[in-house]
Structure 1
Amino acid sequence: MTRESQVNSIETNNFLYPEDVMIPQAPPEFKSGFVGIVGRPNVGKSTLMNRLVGQKIAITSPIAQTTRNRLRGILTTPAAQIIFVDTPGIHKPHHQLGEVLVQNAKAAIESVDLILFVVDASTVCGGGDRYVAELLNKSQTPVILGLNKTDQQPPESADKIDESYTQLASTNNWKIVKFSAITGEELPQLQDLLIEKLETGPYYYPPDLVTDQPERFIMGELIREQILLLTREEVPHSVAIAIDQVEETPSITRVLATINVERDSQKGILIGKGGLMLKTIGSSAREQIQKLIAGKVYLELFVKVQPKWRHSRIRLADLGYRIEQ
């Protein structure tokens, strides 16, 4: 996807801007560009983007493969505008959904100006990291190796861990930077390095915009996040959220959403005894959506069984999972 098509794909809603809003002209020496955040699942890519942008636009959880769509977060400073592209974790896929996620992550490598390859610095470099490194080597896109989770490094093995990634970086002639997305340690230095590596360019988005994702999409992700946090391991990866209706009034926003699962047993887990689990999910998600829109929300959730939806390209497309170009 070219820069122009990425920007032109924006939809108009509460997060996005109407066509008549002017994008200012960038001052001399202003830098801009697209930075792809790439890595294995669960290395903290979404947490990092949220921290850099200064607002929660991507869901996070301890469960791997949380991110399913290629998300874009926008950071604008007096010196630059960085469009972060948060990608699904690169892993060995086990179903059609996994294939779509990995293909979209790989496509992002070729559609950005700079890659931030994020690894988990709380453990030594592994085969998954080397696999991602091999993919990046096939691209002409410049790469920075980012060591995240430095706050979680065991003191007794920190030198060994650092050395394993130093070898990976030197082998590929990559610059390396250490930081913690959780604590914010060294993130200003990371931001400065990213800006340094970008070329001069225009504003691609209005300076006050933090994401180009539709509000409905983020509502669905906030619901899915609560399911990831509250239910058993067998449920989260089998869940897809469809926002069926959003009705806004001056006093309240009513949201109707369907939680799609693959099996009746998963539906039972989500509903819970006496509907308690679904009520808990709905209450927690409603609080997050209220923060998103800064207003009162009524949220109604339904659960629907869609057998083997992750294996069906048609059902995946209906639920918003398509291979991006």
Structure 2
Amino acid sequence: MDDPAREGPERTAAGSRPGHRSGVVAIVGAPNVGKSTLLNQFLGAKVAITTPKPQTTRGQIRGILTGENFQVVFVDTPGIHDSKRLLNRVLVQWATRALHDVDVVVFVVDVSHRDRARELAILDLLREVGCPVVAVLNKIDKVAKENLLPILDELGRLHPFAALVPVAARDGDGVEAVLDEILRLLPEGPPYYDAETLTDQGPAQLAAEIIREKVFLLAGQEVPYSTAVEVEDIADEPETGLRRVTATIYVERPSQKGILIGKGGRFIKKVGRMAREEMEELWRRKVYLDLRVKVLKDWSRDEKALRRLGLARQE
């Protein structure tokens, strides 16, 4: 995986006209505050996986929203948090690198989470960025209405935000208001991508993320965080229209391999079936998914393994 801090999008001349706004918008926040859900709502399509578990997002996911007079390149990022685990530290590096060369930051806060220590730590980073920050106060559906105004006041005193917008991202409530604030802050300029482009993820990355999402949704608390997915091959058969996907789920210990395979292979078959069905819906074609499970001992603590899996920067 190339380092997006060095390999960012480049503006194209096509579609440039007076009054056209474009820019890069980083979506940041603590783990499990709804960043990926918000991105999917902006786009009206699923480009980032979402699960109830924290720290689902790995790396940076770009989603492109194109309108008549604008193009927004959203960058979804892993949750920013303090951790001693190498994998988690690498993920936080992905998130902080996303703050380079952006036009606007969308800072997502879970208003149902009352401890503001993690928000304060992230705001220390945002103060160094020097670009407008829109605070998105998510999960307002989990807070009593009479408590919302004091929370808005509390957060408003933490930072000179360009705007504070209450939303319930899961239901789409308030998302349009966030977009209005973003467009107000973006500079004039030509688009980065063709109007038809929704994400910069290729088929292999999309397939890997879909498989990983199913593991997160189906497995217990520990196993998903010890899994990584590598797609070795994607091949299309012109005669039949079939797309063959060969992928491996890596775990760190033999016991985790046993859990993922399940009795009689039932668990891995369920993961494969759900992933295949979503791929078929996404690509609108039949998919044959060859899915295996292998042990890559302690990969989340091994920088060489993280680079191999595209989770750490290549030297």
Alignment of 1:209-224 (within 5 A): 209-224=197-212
State which of 176, 183, 195 in structure 1 corresponds to 2:183: 195
Pair 1:176-2:158 in alignment: no
**Is the contact between residue 137 and residue 172 of structure 1 (CA under 8 Å) also seen in structure 2?**
no
State which of 212, 233, 242 in structure 1 corresponds to 2:221: 233
Q: CA deviation at 1:203?
A: 1.1
Please say which of residues 104-113 and 220-229 is displaced more in the overlay.
Answer: 104-113
Alignment of 1:122-201 (within 5 A): 122-124=112-114, 126-155=116-145, 157-168=147-158, 171-201=159-189
CA–CA distance in 2 between the matches of 1:57 and 1:162? 30
Please say which of residues 299-308 and 157-166 is displaced more in the overlay.
Answer: 157-166
Pair 1:6-2:8 in alignment: yes
CA–CA distance in 2 between the matches of 1:85 and 1:227? 24
Matched residue, 1:274: 264
Matched residue, 1:17: none
Please report the TM-score for the alignment, with normalisation by the length of structure 2: 0.93
**Is there any run of 5+ residues in structure 1 with no aligned partner, and where?**
9-21
Q: Which runs of 4+ in 1 moved over 4 A?
A: 1-4
CA–CA distance in 2 between the matches of 1:106 and 1:3? 10
Matched residue, 2:21: 31
Distance 1:2 1:211, change over 3 A: closer
Q: CA deviation at 1:96?
A: 1.6
Q: CA deviation at 1:307?
A: 0.8
Matched residue, 1:102: 92
Please report the TM-score for the alignment, with normalisation by the length of structure 1: 0.90
**Is the contact between residue 109 and residue 119 of structure 2 (CA under 8 Å) also seen in structure 1?**
yes
Amino acid of the structure 2 residue aligned with 1:84: F
State which of 49, 54, 59 in structure 1 corresponds to 2:49: 59
Alignment of 1:41-56 (within 5 A): 41-56=31-46
CA–CA distance in 1 between the matches of 2:144 and 2:210? 32
Q: CA deviation at 1:286?
A: 0.7
State which of 283, 294, 298 in structure 2 corresponds to 1:304: 294
Q: CA deviation at 1:173?
A: 4.5
Q: What is the aligned-residue RMSD (CA, Å)?
A: 1.9
Distance 1:320 1:2, change over 3 A: closer
CA–CA distance in 2 between the matches of 1:150 and 1:140? 28
**Is the contact between residue 124 and residue 165 of structure 1 (CA under 8 Å) also seen in structure 2?**
no
Residue 110 of structure 1 aligns to a residue whose secondary structure is coil
Distance 1:58 1:298, change over 3 A: same
**Is there any run of 5+ residues in structure 2 with no aligned partner, and where?**
none
